[in-house]
């Protein structure tokens, strides 16, 4: 899922400075799971913003809402009435949600309340780690289900570099070498021969973000 | 300007702080009239949101009475609330609130006197600190 973390309150206060009435919208999907932009965080941030503004002698009225999924136009449509008389919208969904709101409400300024970080896994409560870079052509079947694109500092596709030391990456001692992990995993599942399988260079200019914004079109689903 | 009677919200764990608060009366001790006790099933149930809401709704200070560490009746509720308080302290600092307005007190069920002393100390501290910035 998409992982995000709240922007510093002072940064949010700075761009909300000109406004007296805003709509604060969270998203009950990915960002709720990482405790950055769900319903609970809407209440917490709204409270903090009101207190800060009142403390500064400048009141701020905040309408609160939380979309089921802010990246889906039909859920964003439900905000229409509330958005009717606000001066700005603060979204604490991921960057996708912010853009969906901006598209739905072209006449209202929309600001991001979180920094969208990566697609990742929950390692433990309160700890999330990057696992996918949406490179556009998955090779996890060749690497034991562990991604060297997202988890190798150099994105090497055919084994570790010379900086792999005792299972750790040279960039930081507490970062595991993903190629060591891939080797251990392939060995555990009896597919060590895959280490000898050459993985060709990725076509970054055709499959990934390097080729410009991507889209998926399913003609069978379009009405 | 000094607050005459600081309003204190005390979130009390049902397994420790609330029982201790109950004992205060039995000991013949008194508590400030401006104290508002909120009974919770476990301190771990108190969210960062509740702490900020208490302050936003007019409390000059918030006390959280939880079980002693390693003695939580729900295993780790007291540690969970402590971690959440760390987050709230960071938030309070950024929005102009003194961290003294929020405090954790670990008590046992038989700590009625300690409960009363903690509330009185916070009451005196808040009088010195002055009213909430929101007032």
d(CA A169, CA A163): 6
CB B84 within 8 A of CB B49: no
Contact B38, B9 (CB under 8 A): yes
- Mean pLDDT of the A100-117 span: 98
Burial class (CB in 10 A: 0-12, 13-18, 19+), A180: middle
Average pLDDT over residues A178-205: 96
What is the number of CB-based contacts under 8 A between chain A and chain B?
40
Spatial separation of the C-alpha atoms in residues B79 and B69, rounded to whole Å: 7
Pairing of strands A127-132, A110-112: unpaired
Between B52, B94, B133, which is nearest A47 by CB? B52
Chain A residues with beta carbon closer than 8 angstroms to that of B95: 9, 48, 51-52, 55
Beta bridge partners of B13: B40
The pLDDT assigned to A63 comes to 98
**Cβ within 8 Å, pair A55-B94:** no
Q: Integer distance in angstroms from the first to the last C-alpha of chain B?
A: 10
Spell out, as residue ranges, where chain B has pLDDT lower than 70: 1-3
Interface test with B, best of A9, A49, A51 (most B CBs within 10 A): A51
- Residue A201: pLDDT above 60? yes
Contact A71, A5 (CB under 8 A): no
Give me the pLDDT at residue A223, please: 79
- pTM of this structure: 0.91
Give the pLDDT score at A210. Answer: 86
Nearest CA-CA distance, residue A110 and chain B, Å: 22
Residue-range domains of chain B with CATH: 8-127 (3.40.50)
> What confidence tens digit (pLDDT) does each residue in A29-58 have?
999 999 999 999 999 999 999 999 999 999
Task: List chain A residues with CB under 8 Å of B62.
Answer: none
Mean pLDDT of A137-156: 97
Cα separations in angstroms, A95 against A15, A45, A118, B30: 17, 18, 11, 54
Structural domains in chain A?
Answer: 2-118 (3.40.50.2300), 136-211 (no CATH)
Q: Would you say A49 and A92 are in contact if contact means Cβ atoms under 8 Å apart?
A: no
- Residue of B50, B75, B82, B91 to mutate for A, most A C-beta atoms under 10 A: B91
Q: Which of B49, B91, B134 sits opposite A54 (nearest CB)?
A: B134
B95–A55 CB contact, under 8 Å: yes
- Listing DSSP states for A163-186 in one string gives T-BTTB-SS-TTSBPHHHHHHHHH
Nearest alpha carbon to residue A12 among A63, A46, A57, A40: A46
Q: Is the dihedral of CA A171, A125, B43, A29 positive or negative?
A: positive
Mean predicted lDDT score pLDDT of chain A: 96
CA distance A30 to A21: 27
Closest CA to B123 of B41, B32, B39, B46: B32
Q: Say yes or no to pLDDT of A90 above 90.
A: yes
Q: Among all chains, which residue has been given the structure tokens 């302050």?
A: B55
Predicted ipTM of the assembly: 0.89
List b or e across B89-110, with b for residues whose CB sees 16 or more CB atoms inside 10 angstroms.
eebbebbebeeebbbbbbbbbe
Q: What is the pLDDT of residue A208?
A: 86
What is the C-alpha to C-alpha distance for residues A43 and A26, in angstroms, rounded to an integer?
Answer: 9
Q: What is the CA radius of gyration of chain A?
A: 22
Q: Mean pLDDT across the stretch A17-21?
A: 98
Residues in chain A: 223
Q: Report the pLDDT value the prediction gives residue A54, as an integer from 0 to 100.
A: 95
Pairing mode of beta strands A114-124, A2-6: antiparallel
Which of B94, B98, B131 should be substituted to probe chain A, the one whose Cβ sees the most A Cβ atoms within 10 Å?
A: B94
Query: Which residues, 6+ apart, have CB-to-CB distance to B3 below 8 Å?
Result: B60, B126, B127, B130, B131, B135
């Amino acid at each position: 899922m998409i992982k995000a973390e709240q922007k510093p309150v002072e940064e949010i206060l700075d761009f909300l400075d000109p406004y007296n009435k805003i709509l604060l919208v969270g998203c009950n999907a990915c960002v709720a799971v990482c405790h950055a932009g769900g319903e609970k965080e809407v209440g917490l941030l709204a409270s903090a913003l009101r207190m800060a503004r009142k403390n500064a002698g400048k009141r701020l009225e905040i309408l609160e809402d939380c979309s089921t999924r802010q990246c889906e136009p039909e859920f964003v449509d439900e905000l229409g009435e509330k958005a009717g008389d606000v001066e700005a919208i603060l979204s604490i969904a991921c960057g996708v949600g912010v853009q969906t709101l901006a598209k739905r409400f072209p006449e209202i300024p929309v600001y991001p309340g979180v920094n969208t970080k990566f697609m990742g896994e929950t390692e433990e409560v309160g700890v999330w780690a990057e696992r996918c870079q949406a490179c556009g052509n998955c090779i996890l079947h060749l690497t034991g289900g562990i991604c060297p694109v997202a988890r190798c500092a150099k994105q090497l596709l055919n084994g570790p570099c010379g900086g792999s030391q005792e299972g750790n990456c040279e960039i930081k001692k507490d970062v595991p070498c993903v190629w060591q992990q891939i080797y251990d995993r392939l060995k555990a599942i009896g597919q060590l021969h895959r280490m000898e399988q050459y993985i060709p260079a990725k076509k970054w200019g055709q499959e990934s973000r390097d080729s410009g914004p991507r889209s998926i079109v399913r003609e069978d689903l379009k009405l | 300007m000094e607050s005459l009677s600081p309003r204190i919200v005390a979130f009390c764990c049902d397994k420790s702080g609330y029982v201790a608060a109950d004992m205060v009366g039995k000991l013949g001790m008194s508590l400030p009239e401006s104290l508002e006790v909120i009974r919770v099933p476990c301190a771990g149930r108190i969210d960062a949101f509740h702490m900020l809401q208490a302050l936003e709704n007019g409390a000059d200070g918030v006390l959280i009475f939880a079980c002693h560490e390693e003695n939580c009746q729900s295993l780790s509720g007291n540690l969970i609330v402590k971690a959440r308080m760390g987050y709230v302290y960071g938030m309070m600092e950024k929005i102009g609130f003194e961290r003294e307005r929020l405090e954790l007190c670990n008590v046992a069920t038989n700590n009625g006197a300690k409960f009363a002393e903690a509330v009185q100390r916070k009451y005196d501290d808040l009088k010195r600190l002055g009213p909430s910035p929101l007032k």
